[in-house]
Amino acid sequence: MAALAGGVAFSGSGAATLNGDELATISAATRSLAGLWELVQHIDGHFLPYYLFMHVWALAGTAELWLRLPSALAIGAAAGLLVALGGRLHSTRAGVTAAALLAALPSVSYYGAFARPYAFAAAAVVLSFWALHRALERSGTRRWAAYGATVALVCCTHLFAVLVLPAHLLLIRRETAARMLAALAAGCVPAVVLGLVGYGERHAISWIPQRGPDVLLKFPKMAAGAAEAGVPLFVVALAGAALLGLSRRAAGPRGAASTGLPPWRWAGALLGWLVLPPLLLLAVSHLVTPVYVDRYLFVTAPALALLAGLAAAHAGSRRVSVAVCWALVAVCLAAGTYQHAEVRDENGRFENFPWAISRIQARPGDAIVYGQSQVRSGFDYYGPAYYGLDGYGDGSMPEDVLRLGHDPSPTGFGYRERSAVAGALRGRERVWVVWRGTKATGDRLARVREVEEAGYEREGSWHSADLPGMTVALYTKAGG
């Protein structure tokens, strides 16, 4: 099941082009350690553990497939751990069904082929629940230390993965409360450190809008990656929590009751794993700063699959249960077929840099200006391969007239640029302007306004499919 889920995730790695977030991973990972340390003191400090891992990984290359492979491996680990956890809570059948459902989710096809830490966070959360069951089953110093280590891993993979941990508190048992709380507290130390760092760098997420409670209605779609699969699966997951909670005894030699806790306590914890992160993330958004972004909640996807798997495993006799399990997987896969295909499209990450490069039909003497300087990183990555060049400047691509130096800013993902746009464009008849977002987004960008103030008029513009997408516009000298 680990190989199946990992394979499904990895199968989409070579189709969709890298987006801005993944290019930021490359930018961070390919810096020297000193350069990376300087970067995280200004932005993305809470991603430091992931960037350090990718720094080592990227020593072997920065090809799309290679960069996305760790996320696919993490999905495989999450699926394998779901089989083990489902076996502990009910039966191997429940665990296998949960792993199969996880592989069938379109969100797994997306984040499992995404060079960011969200798949790592999901795998770490499953591991933490598995380790907690193991420690509660037979208490011992080593098992509680291992549990504390898994909590620390959760905290290091992604800051908001810690929103799952309050669900662990529903499993406190009087006999082991002191050890559990000590392990949990020790494991949360990285979260405290990274949380303080993230709070100090909250300017980096100032683009996130404030969300209202209505955003929670979209949560099943987000967790599954498709409303057609997410909504019915969410209902089945709630039924799974109810069936586990109401069962007088858990099936299997290591059922929920083997931990000294009634099954309803585990049902509550698994339900908390599913619903607490969006509720708490929304609360943080209103009490501290807006942070509600769908991708921060991918850690709930394994809970959705596990609870649905438990519901199917409870469905009558063994023969009936097996039939229900595979019928549920088939329905889930069929319901998300379109989304599975969509995320494997070239524009599956909604920022198609090769498309933008191909739209530019440059003439000798043309210039190019980037509405957001960090968009340049996509042209640096895909441009040479597209044109078969070792660099720019031979007429195949417009001249990057604002660029100062090859390397990105030491304190961010943008690039140092000349401030005098009009002076840099002097003598140019045509200017290509590229930005992330819709055509209307350009009206709000300073660089686009500066091009217009320099005496250029928009002759034509093209926007890639889906949002936010990318826009390529051609400006010509007024009166030229």
**Segments making up each domain of the chain, as ranges:** 2-343, 353-477
Mean pLDDT, range 82-95, rounded to an integer: 94
The answer, yes or no, to whether residue 163 has pLDDT greater than 70, is: yes
393 pLDDT more than 60: no
Alpha carbon distance 368, 383 (integer Å): 13
Q: Does the pLDDT of residue 388 top 90, yes or no?
A: no
- Measured CA to CA, the distance from residue 475 to residue 461 in angstroms comes to 9
The pLDDT of residue 246: 83
- pLDDT given at position 397: 83
Question: What is the structure's pLDDT at 254?
Answer: 52
Which residues, listed in sequence order, are joined to residue 368 by a DSSP beta bridge? 400, 432
The pair of structure tokens assigned to 242 is 């109810």
Question: How far is Cα 329 from Cα 104, in angstroms, rounded to an integer?
Answer: 7
Q: Among 56-70, 181-195, 241-255, which is the least confidently predicted range?
A: 241-255
CA distance 95 to 80: 9
Average pLDDT, the chain: 92
Name the pLDDT band for 295 (thresholds 50, 70, 90): very high
Cβ-contact 402, 421 below 8 angstroms: yes
pLDDT at 252: 44
pLDDT at residue 383, as a whole number: 87
Average pLDDT over residues 232-261: 77
Check if the beta carbon of residue 17 is closer than 8 Å to that of residue 63. no
C-alpha–C-alpha distance, residues 185 and 183, integer Å: 5
Q: Distance (Å, rounded) from C-alpha 279 to C-alpha 86?
A: 25
The pLDDT tens digits of the residues spanning 396-454 come to 789 999 999 989 999 999 999 999 999 999 999 999 999 999 999 999 999 999 999 99
Q: What is the pLDDT of residues 265-282, one digit of tens each?
A: 999 999 999 999 999 999
- According to DSSP, residue 19 is labeled -
Mean pLDDT across the stretch 314-342? 90
Task: Tell me what pLDDT residue 315 has.
Answer: 83
Asked if 44 contacts 116 with a C-beta cutoff of 8 angstroms, the reply is no
Q: Which residues contact residue 251 at a Cβ distance below 8 angstroms, ignoring those fewer than 6 apart?
A: 90, 91, 313
* Pairwise CA distance, residues 385 & 387, whole Å: 6
- Is 33 exposed, middle or buried (CB count within 10 Å of its CB: 0-12, 13-18, 19+)? exposed
Residues paired with 432 in a beta bridge: 368, 474
pLDDT at 389 over 90: no
Q: What is the mean pLDDT of residues 151-174?
A: 97
pLDDT band of 65, cuts 50, 70, 90: very high
Take residue 74 and report the two structure tokens written for it. Answer: 């993490």
For residue 250, the model assigns a pLDDT of 46
pLDDT in tens, 114-137: 999 999 999 999 999 999 999 999
The answer to whether residues 409 and 451 touch, using CB atoms and an 8 Å cutoff, is no
Amino acid at 224: A
- The rounded distance, in Å, linking the Cα atoms of 2 and 332 is 18
pLDDT at 44: 95
The pLDDT value given to residue 333: 92
Which residues are bridge partners to 367 per DSSP? Answer: 399, 431
Chain centroid to Cα 19, Å, comes to: 12
What is the model's pLDDT at position 392? Answer: 43
**In the predicted structure, residue 390 carries a pLDDT above the cut 70:** no
CA dist., res. 351 & res. 20, Å (int) = 7
The predicted model gives 296-320 an average pLDDT of 92
Joined together, the tokens standing for residue 416 give 């140092």
- Give me the half-sphere count of Cα atoms (radius 13 Å) on the Cβ side of residue 83: 14
Q: What is the pLDDT of residue 117?
A: 98
CB 441 within 8 A of CB 471: yes
- Nearest-CA neighbor of 223 among 328, 139, 343, 102? 102
| 164: pLDDT strictly greater than 90 | yes
